[in-house]
Amino acid sequence: MKIRLAEKILYVTSIFGNWDSNYQPYSVPQQQKALKVLKVPMNIRKSMLEYGVYGKIPTEYRGYSPIQVSQAMLKHKMNPGNIKEYRRCMRQLLDK
């Protein structure tokens, strides 16, 4: 992975994490590799891996506001770990 691509991945991830966008085009392994390529110091990298790496949102749910979805999931104590769990949680929220 080139440094230019790694910087682009971290930029897009930061936009997604700041709720400016509900589209995350990069997978978790790509984000992890970008941190490694940019040679971020280990103490900073650990916190970024814990709080700054985001999973993708399925395409059928990108029209919904990510802030409202996350608030509803927190309210109902849902914590999806992958796309399959995210879809299940969204179906439960939309049925309510």
Residues 6+ apart with CB under 8 A from 76: 92, 93
The C-alpha atoms of residue 25 and residue 29 are separated, in whole angstroms, by: 12
Q: Are 9 and 26 in contact (CB under 8 A)?
A: yes
Burial of residue 6, with CB atoms counted within 10 A of its CB: 0-12 exposed, 13-18 middle, 19 or more buried: buried
The C-alpha atoms of residue 9 and residue 31 are separated, in whole angstroms, by: 7
The C-alpha atoms of residue 50 and residue 64 are separated, in whole angstroms, by: 25
Residue 19 DSSP class: T
pTM for this structure? 0.60
Asked whether residue 8 carries a pLDDT value surpassing 80, the answer given is yes
pLDDT digits (tens, 9 = 90+) for 13-57: 888 777 777 777 888 888 888 888 888 788 877 777 776 677 777
